[in-house]
Amino acid sequence: MNLPILENLEIPLPRPLEQEVIARLLDAVQKAKEARERELALERERKAALMEYLFTHGTRGEPTKQTEIGEIPEGWLVERLCAVAKIRYGLGQPPELDSQGVPMIRATDIKRGRVLPSGIIRVKRAAIPQARNPYLRKGDIIVVRSGAYTGDVAMYDGRWEAAVAGYDLVVSPFEGGVESYFLSQFLLGERTQRYFRSQRDRAAQSHLNAQQLGETLMPLPPREEQEQIGGLLLVCNSKVEALERESTVLDELFSAMLEDLMTGRLSALPLIEEHQVQ
């Protein structure tokens, strides 16, 4: 855009009092959003600290011991992931798309332990290669294996009757062994993410393979304690998700108000008149 265009650009110009009211309205929404973002940052810090504590000390107050993965409670074991779960690859290249087909979860649909449904694509059921054991079960964990999101994790919660994983790795805990939510949270923790980064950075192209994932060392508490830890972290995650939703709503509200106030579709005059009456 050059100077003559800018000089001739027409802009809405409400009267000064209305400009002031518009600025105050937008500022109030912006401050509310900033407050939610500060709360969100604090809640994420609290969750990270709680994860570190729980995976170091557990919930039972027992003495700890030093292991190859650091300090853990004396009663816990250390296992390789491949000893407690089956690991397989997803589909790779997506089959033919079908708007009424089976949801396929890709790396871009995964964020900090959750599957985001907004960008899900669907593929033709008849084109899914059955030999790949393609379908996800509730409790399966998807681990992003390449690209910018390498090492991110999400547990499939069974929200669709049938779903498949894309190019990534799928971890299926063995029956009666490690609890899925506990495992997904450990894989998201800083200890495991450091290991994923070290494996990724060894390769010319950043990726994880099934063998590297299977060699991941993890703590294995008694099943009841796994469930207790998972429950505590679920509460934290619920708070984080609620704050994320509030922040998104405020962001959308700010954008909508900015558009409507600046184009005159929404008037600040009623607020001015109400103030004058009072």
Does 136 lie in the same domain as 27? Answer: no
At 84, the amino acid letter reads V
**pLDDT beneath 50: ranges in the chain:** 276-278
Does 105 lie in the same domain as 149? Answer: yes
Does 164 lie in the same domain as 265? Answer: no
pLDDT score for 139: 95
Residues 36, 240 contacting (CB under 8 angstroms): no
Q: pLDDT for 55-96, tens place per residue?
A: 999 999 999 999 999 999 999 999 999 999 999 999 877 788
* CATH number assigned to the domain comprising residue 201: 3.90.220.20
Q: Is residue 8 part of a domain?
A: no
pLDDT score for 3: 72
pLDDT score for 123: 92
Domain that holds residue 158: 78-220
Does 183 lie in the same domain as 90? Answer: yes
Does 184 lie in the same domain as 107? Answer: yes
pLDDT score for 148: 81
Q: Is residue 38 part of a domain?
A: yes
| 3-state class (DSSP) for residue 275 | helix
pTM value is 0.83
Q: pLDDT for 143-182, tens place per residue?
A: 999 888 889 999 999 999 999 999 899 999 999 889 999 9
Does 28 lie in the same domain as 92? Answer: no
231-235 — which CB contacts under 8 Å span 24+ positions? 232/50, 232/54, 232/59, 233/47, 233/50, 233/51, 233/54, 233/181, 233/185, 234/181
pLDDT score for 244: 93
